[in-house]
Structure 1
Amino acid sequence: MNPTRRHLIAGAGASLIAPALPGRAEAQAFPFRPNQRYPDPAVQILDPSFARYRIYSSTLEQVATGMRWAEGPVYFPEGGYLLCSDVPNNRIMKYDERDGSFTVFRAPANFANGNTRDRQGRLITCEHSVTRRVTRTEGDGAITVLADGFEGKRLNAPNDVVVRSDGSIWFTDPLFGINGEWEGDRAKPEQGTTHVFRIAPDGTLAAVISDIVNPNGLAFSPDESKLYVVEWKGTPNRSIWSYPVRPDGSVGTRTKLVDATDQGALDGFRVDRDGNLWCGWGSNGALREEPETIDGRAVYPLKGRPEDLDGVKVFNPEGKAIGFIRLPERCANLAFGGPKRNRLYMASSHSLYALFVEAHGAV
């Protein structure tokens, strides 16, 4: 097979629970029942300003399940479908709004993580492990490599990606995909640190941010004057930093916009037209200092209750928490989709959830 191409597998049976790859156990599917009450109590108003974004007669839906770790959703309005990565299963999945099918789009996918569209509607993918590169899928299915190394050394593990209106592509390069065997192959990092990179329209690659430990999700403000970046290993909490973007594509001095003080685990996020940040949320996995006796054993429980943290937390442009969408699974990343870009898709552990809101994606 030509190493610059991948098979696009689209179909092979429309099923809500996607088939596992050969030789791998089927991921467990969790039963889900939508709430029968309006307004849906899963949509929580933390500040009165969030009420305008809640649709009174809209309820949370589970539109697909059967994944092991759902990530990187991206919506394609021309085809009415959404793609998302199932990272440990090494595949990209496709949810079709028209018939509700959920099928394999690409497998293997080089442990794809973050995905987005460029201004021409082409798929941009962060291949998180093994190949450790950022690629573009052309209209004929050919794969173009946009970046796979910096200063003569391989990238770490490209994670999340966004495209600016000038055509530049910005992506984070933490270590997650090479730290172990769950999301790819363990490997020794070659870069001296973890960067946020910018691919200029002419293809030039530059490290624009190097002062964040394991940068994760990223997005621009609606006017693109600010770049927001999640620091996965922030001290003492995970954080979102705001960087002013200069005309030449460089960034200025950062300021902290969001601090996850409740044991929350920031991951991916998206920005709406009003500048609000809709953030994937869940437990950061921190343990309590002292054990509890559970079933006769000394057990170190998590700080906080994961069942109270799993979902999407919404912050206004000033960094104030204004809303929360409770989910039965931890949300890693999300995207606005639907014909009007007002359907919030949430890639959450094993499943893909959706909720219509009175907000629209900025891009």
Structure 2
Amino acid sequence: MSVYRSEFVETSVEVVDPRFHSLVLFNAQLEKLFDGCRWLEGPVWFGDQQRLLVSDIPNDRILSWDESNGLRIFRHSAGFPNGQTRDRQGRLLTCSHGHRALLRTEHNGQVVSLVDSHQGQPLNTPNDVVVKSDGTVWFSDPLYGLVNDFEGGRRHSFQPAVIYRFDPADRSLQAMTSPDEVKGPNGLAFSPDESMLYVVDTCAPDDSTPDPLIHLFDVEEGGSKLSGRRDFHRVNNGNADGIRVDAIGNVWSSAGNGVHCIAPDGTLLGRIATPRLVGNLCFGGVNGNRLFLCSWDTMYSIYVNTRGLQHPALS
């Protein structure tokens, strides 16, 4: 792996709504951190270690990057990892296409499978994962990792594409959506008060006329039910994939031309351009105001004037 060195890249900031002025920095530049990957996904910031972990799905590995050491390999043969986050105890949670499972890395480095089936049948390919303040783990389970050999291997599906809620306390697994509500569940994010769940719908893999959207659900009954699905936003230029919410409720979404910032009312506030499409992103850095952007084979970052929504103990 290469020794860390940064490289500033030309970018542009497009203000669509005046509210975006307060969220971006006029003197912040887009920084290229590393490249040479195949398809980057699942970025997660470890604030207590000041490092970033990220999935390189086709290369079947998880990478680690920090300012002091640059890029290193965190794990080979990682099960074709996709979305990642941390649980409330600071452990790494990884969506594994290869194992068709949600994995957890214990503090001693041991990797355990939390869940790999529903009602006696294998999951599809867990894609993205978020953790609620009550410790429950929510993940999307679309078909994307089953339809080719590039991101896990062509295999048969036994389940509809849905969003699941897993409770580590009793190991119960509950389907939270129906196939009619979300055809291709992808990126997930809770609102700051956890009363709403944002869900990216990138449609079914075989849909010849996809209409990808970010949906919004109400979280009811103590977090055990979703209701009131409505269309929140349609990304203009490419599709939404990974999404994150900042501390004041704005949604930051990957897109075909960079990263888009969307207000809680669904209004596009502005865009930050990147040389190639962005597949996923996360907040990190010392103050939580650094956006890390997975842009195809390259990792970029840029500082913004808002902080990501993160659990204080893990920031």
State the distance in 2 between where 1:236 and 1:107 align. Answer: 34
Task: Decide whether the 8 Å contact of 1:272 with 1:362 is kept in 2.
Answer: yes
1:241 and 2:187 aligned: no
Partner of 1:223: 193
Task: Decide whether the 8 Å contact of 2:125 with 2:143 is kept in 1.
Answer: yes
Query: Alpha-carbon deviation of 1:56?
Result: 1.8
Task: Decide whether the 8 Å contact of 1:47 with 1:323 is kept in 2.
Answer: yes
State the distance in 2 between where 1:104 and 1:330 align. Answer: 24
Partner of 2:125: 157
Match of 2:258 among 290, 295, 311: 311
- Give the secondary structure class of the aligned counterpart of 2:19: helix
State the distance in 2 between where 1:145 and 1:279 align. Answer: 29
Partner of 1:289: none
Partner of 1:295: none
Partner of 2:226: 251
Task: Decide whether the 8 Å contact of 1:238 with 1:264 is kept in 2.
Answer: no
- TM-score, scaled relative to structure 1: 0.80
1:123-202 residue pairs with structure 2 within 5 A? 123-129=92-98, 131-191=99-159, 193-202=160-169
Partner of 1:44: 14
Partner of 1:89: 59
- Give the secondary structure class of the aligned counterpart of 1:245: strand
Which residue identity lines up with residue 122 of structure 1 in the other structure?
Answer: R
State the distance in 2 between where 1:276 and 1:161 align. Answer: 19
Partner of 2:70: 101
- Give the secondary structure class of the aligned counterpart of 1:50: helix
- Most deviating of 193-202 and 86-95: 193-202
State the distance in 2 between where 1:93 and 1:174 align. Answer: 24
- Give the secondary structure class of the aligned counterpart of 2:135: coil
Query: Alpha-carbon deviation of 1:32?
Result: 6.1
State the distance in 2 between where 1:154 and 1:251 align. Answer: 23
State the distance in 2 between where 1:255 and 1:80 align. Answer: 37
State the distance in 1 between where 2:9 and 2:128 align. Answer: 30
Query: Alpha-carbon deviation of 1:15?
Result: 3.1
- Give the secondary structure class of the aligned counterpart of 1:251: strand
1:209 and 2:197 aligned: no
1:73 and 2:43 aligned: yes
Which residue identity lines up with residue 76 of structure 1 in the other structure?
Answer: F
Query: Alpha-carbon deviation of 1:173?
Result: 0.3
Task: Decide whether the 8 Å contact of 1:94 with 1:104 is kept in 2.
Answer: yes
Task: Decide whether the 8 Å contact of 2:237 with 2:255 is kept in 1.
Answer: no
Task: Decide whether the 8 Å contact of 1:16 with 1:65 is kept in 2.
Answer: no
Which residue identity lines up with residue 361 of structure 1 in the other structure?
Answer: G
Match of 2:3 among 12, 15, 21: 15
1:114 and 2:83 aligned: yes
State the distance in 2 between where 1:274 and 1:362 align. Answer: 8
State the distance in 1 between where 2:295 and 2:303 align. Answer: 17
Task: Decide whether the 8 Å contact of 2:8 with 2:29 is kept in 1.
Answer: no
- TM-score, scaled relative to structure 2: 0.92
State the distance in 1 between where 2:12 and 2:214 align. Answer: 24
State the distance in 1 between where 2:103 and 2:132 align. Answer: 16
CA RMSD of aligned residues (A): 1.7
Partner of 2:313: none
Match of 1:276 among 250, 273, 279: 250
1:322 and 2:269 aligned: yes
State the distance in 1 between where 2:219 and 2:168 align. Answer: 16
1:265 and 2:228 aligned: no
Task: Decide whether the 8 Å contact of 1:281 with 1:313 is kept in 2.
Answer: yes
- Most deviating of 196-205 and 319-328: 196-205
Gaps of 5+ in 2: 311-315
State the distance in 1 between where 2:201 and 2:87 align. Answer: 24
1:341 and 2:291 aligned: no
Task: Decide whether the 8 Å contact of 1:237 with 1:263 is kept in 2.
Answer: no
Matched residue pairs, number? 302
Query: Alpha-carbon deviation of 1:144?
Result: 1.8
Partner of 2:278: 331
Query: Alpha-carbon deviation of 1:34?
Result: 2.6
Task: Decide whether the 8 Å contact of 1:227 with 1:243 is kept in 2.
Answer: yes
- Give the secondary structure class of the aligned counterpart of 2:88: coil
- Most deviating of 231-240 and 108-117: 231-240
Match of 1:57 among 27, 39, 48: 27
- Give the secondary structure class of the aligned counterpart of 1:56: coil
Task: Decide whether the 8 Å contact of 1:329 with 1:350 is kept in 2.
Answer: no
**Which is higher, the Rg of structure 1 or of structure 2?**
1
Gaps of 5+ in 1: 1-12, 18-30, 36-40, 283-309
